[in-house]
Structure 1
């Protein structure tokens, strides 16, 4: 349909001047454009030109090629393929661009700067990706209408001009400008700047601002590996990516960014986080993976849903809410401490208690919203924790270290439609490289070996360096098992595990143990009351019913 519309538009435009394409208001056809540019047939009638470099024959343009098109408002030079990207060349440079241009996109722009006589005063969008620019222009320009600036992958660009007059600029995309060594201070005076992408600017060593910005909501410095100094904050910041930078600390005013939702700090030299991080009451996603110098993780706001602390090899101390009533307000859904082997015993116990509270909350969310048909929402109530450990938590009602199944007593369950299950697995050391772990959970009395629910868990690619505890609340499993319970007084749950390798597919994993807790509304209420009574201790309920059977097997 789009092709039909475009072809219809081309036919209408051609009818404006069949014999003289240079007198049309819009130029779209590659052949027409080629002849207009080659024979210098441009005119002030032209308002718009779209040049697909992938469909253009090679052509050398003269410096005055756009001089007669001084009323052009839209110039789009782009590619739709990897070939013929530089079919237009300017061996003698470019002296003129229409000052009335509102939109300028020129992929693979071949010159070191824009024409000095180009005022750019009417530009709303300037898009010059993959360019040969070294400097956008000289001096300061009155670019109050400019809203979007895209210069990404301009590898020769070393500096930016003064943007003080770009008062309406909202988006700056400079990612993979690998030669950029600094950002002009005027950028941080822009009142409407919302998005700044500097990811992959590997020559950038410092990004600092003395003022707390007002509008910036998204800042990416991903893979700015040379960056050592950073002090940019904004009261409107929503996403901040500092992953793979060289920073060691966050700015003192970091806690003022109360709208921050996503924070990426993986592969940095951060040693600790400011205590003020607790003030970030909208923070949902915190990524600290492979922060090799991180030693302490302070209390986080209850809004955090995902926390990735994988590979923090120096981490010793982890703090949670000082009271269990505070932890009951948390929203954690995915927390991983893969290969954090220096965690001290108090921190491991704190993680276990925090995991229990959040897994109970998530399981309760599932059963409280399940009205007999839970197929419609398998994400609600889903959650998991991973942390170093070799023992099944005592609070899991049923556990075994010798068998691949557990039999659960259902006599106390009032309604089978309101059953939730929390699972715990002891994952052994795995030295080989891999991608994911798979857990197949099934009704052990089922006749069909293919039946069951598979759950996938991302694992450290380079290996699992010690035994780990994996706790899981999975609505799909709960619904599957509850649907098979019917009016039975017992149900046998069987588990098999495997690890997906990089080369050999799935290999069986012999778990060191697994456990299950049956969750009902009344059990959750009792658990919550117990926590609210005072000291936060949890009395384990080891109602274990394990039948003799074979040892753990892989899938």
Structure 2
């Protein structure tokens, strides 16, 4: 509504001063900006220009016109195509002697600025925001400029930028964004004068090999981004009393080899995702909290990690990690622990009662053979991921004590021989995935009916001859996947509430000489699908029921109704839901 009122009011103003845009204080319609620059008169009242280049034609900016804008405070030029690139036909033509307007300019945002530097006579005394993302700037300015009020400098993606020679002329800078300035190979040591700087981003500066030591004297610096700095091998040597405000340090996909020991006193959030050169980690004090991402090449964890007060630890894809600290079991604040892809990890330590807050445990792709029986101490565990743990042989019966467990994910555990008995303890389980576990007849206990909260059951790719009869009592089940169970010969009567079954690739079912053993369960299942009954309306079944039983050899010959194509239409008798 606010935008509509604003647009209506703006249209009234435009119609009144259509032939004299110089009387406007703001220009944001591309046609108005174009008219103003072509008329070259009456520009003294303009305070703000918003120009969306994706809606405008080619335009030549005249220094003479800008010179008349004595009151201009805000200039924003932006606009990209659907792929994020500036369209050629939207270019702004600038003369070599181009100059920016008045000294009153506070906000300058020019995405894709086309010149190699700001004009030599650029006035920035009152500038607060300078945003030149994806610009062609090679050197920000020539000589010394006084930008005493500048707080935000953004040159993200300015790939030709080679240097910013002097930071001492912007003492109030708070945020410096130099991410993906791929030609930048040095940060000027004068950056140490920026005592108010809180954020420094150098992500993607692939030619950057070192950082100036003066950075450690930035007392207000809270966040440093060094992600994807593929040639940066070493961070600063930090004095214990310096950088006390530093909280977030991100090295994801960098070439970092070691971290300073003093880092233990600083951080709340440290990310080292895919730092394959890092094989050692410093001792950690309990000051580090909340979040620790060590998806790196580390071989072992420091013993002091037990003092951490973090709630999330990411160790995914640490392929050299062979064991966990026994002290990890005493972590009291953990909510999430991810060890996915730690392919050398063979054992999981005994679990003490201290890990009672752990909610998510990811062990996918590890080399563990079994879980400790003490897993029952994870009283808050809701999600347990064990996909592709090909050495896993058994799941302890004590897992039945996990009364909060909602998801148990085990696909690809091809050596799993034992599944827990007495499943009624897992009364909150919503999803159970046992696909491609090579389970044989009788591997799944008959008391699977005890999983009365189960909504999704995936048994695809196993070797059962029949499905445990207890599945028919799972009244909340919404998806049963038994696809590619090539030994399966029999399907029991199905729960009336089950809306979807996937049985494709069950070749033994396709080869049945008589359809009765296959169709009778489905006919009884269909009996419940009566769109005229009150029970149907109460269950709100809008999409009906789905059976998927295609085979490699086409539709079995005993199916009477066959058509070429992807659909077949059959007229059913009026009492079809009473059959069976």
* Fold match (TM-score > 0.5): yes
Instruction: For residues 28-63 of structure 1, give each alpha carbon's deviation from its aligned partner in whole angstroms, at most 9, with x where no partner exists.
Output: 221121021123235222111111111111122334
- TM-score norm. by structure 2 comes to 0.63
Larger Rg: 2
Structure 2 equivalent of residue 340 of structure 1: 342
Structure 2 equivalent of residue 395 of structure 1: 374
Which of residues 307, 314, 328 is equivalent to 2:313? 307
Matched residue SS, 2:104: coil
Shift of 1:150: 1.1
Structure 1 equivalent of residue 260 of structure 2: 251
Distance in 2 separating the partners of 1:251 and 1:357: 34
- TM-score norm. by structure 1 comes to 0.66
1:112 aligns with 2:108: no
Structure 2 equivalent of residue 43 of structure 1: 43
Distance in 2 separating the partners of 1:510 and 1:93: 78
Matched residue SS, 1:227: coil
1:264 aligns with 2:267: no
Matched residue SS, 2:255: coil
Shift of 1:341: 4.3
1:67 aligns with 2:44: no
Asked if the contact 1:38/1:59 (under 8 Å) is kept, the reply is no
Distance in 1 separating the partners of 2:203 and 2:413: 30
* Higher-RCO chain (CA-CA 8 Å, sequence separation at least 6): 1
Aligned length: 423
1:383 aligns with 2:360: yes
Which of residues 342, 353, 356 is equivalent to 1:357? 353
Instruction: For residues 362-393 of structure 1, give each alpha carbon's deviation from its aligned partner in whole angstroms, at most 9, with x where no partner exists.
Output: 2xxxxxxxxxxxxxxxxxx6232525411231
Shift of 1:6: 3.3
Matched residue SS, 2:200: strand
Asked if the contact 2:286/2:309 (under 8 Å) is kept, the reply is no
Shift of 1:2: 4.4
Distance in 2 separating the partners of 1:189 and 1:92: 33
Shift of 1:193: 0.9
Matched residue SS, 2:374: coil
Shift of 1:453: 8.7
Shift of 1:225: 0.9
Distance in 1 separating the partners of 2:353 and 2:362: 11
Structure 2 equivalent of residue 10 of structure 1: 10
Structure 2 equivalent of residue 280 of structure 1: 287
Instruction: For residues 498-535 of structure 1, give each alpha carbon's deviation from its aligned partner in whole angstroms, at most 9, with x where no partner exists.
Output: 99xxxxxx965799xxxxxxxxxxxxxxxxxxxxxxxx
Asked if the contact 2:199/2:221 (under 8 Å) is kept, the reply is yes
Structure 2 equivalent of residue 231 of structure 1: 236
Q: Which has the higher strand share?
A: 1
CA 1:341–1:466 in structure 2 vs 1: closer, same or farther (change >3 Å)? farther
CA 1:34–1:335 in structure 2 vs 1: closer, same or farther (change >3 Å)? same
What CA RMSD, in Å, does the superposition of the two structures yield over aligned residues? 4.2
Distance in 2 separating the partners of 1:158 and 1:142: 21
Instruction: For residues 318-356 of structure 1, give each alpha carbon's deviation from its aligned partner in whole angstroms, at most 9, with x where no partner exists.
Output: 43549x7xx26x211222223434457xxx4xx4224x4
1:103 aligns with 2:107: yes
Structure 2 equivalent of residue 492 of structure 1: 450
Query: Any residues of structure 2 matched to 1:409-420 within 5 Å, and which?
Result: none
Structure 2 equivalent of residue 484 of structure 1: none
Instruction: For residues 110-162 of structure 1, give each alpha carbon's deviation from its aligned partner in whole angstroms, at most 9, with x where no partner exists.
Output: 10011111121101111111111111112332212111111111111111131
CA 1:118–1:507 in structure 2 vs 1: closer, same or farther (change >3 Å)? farther
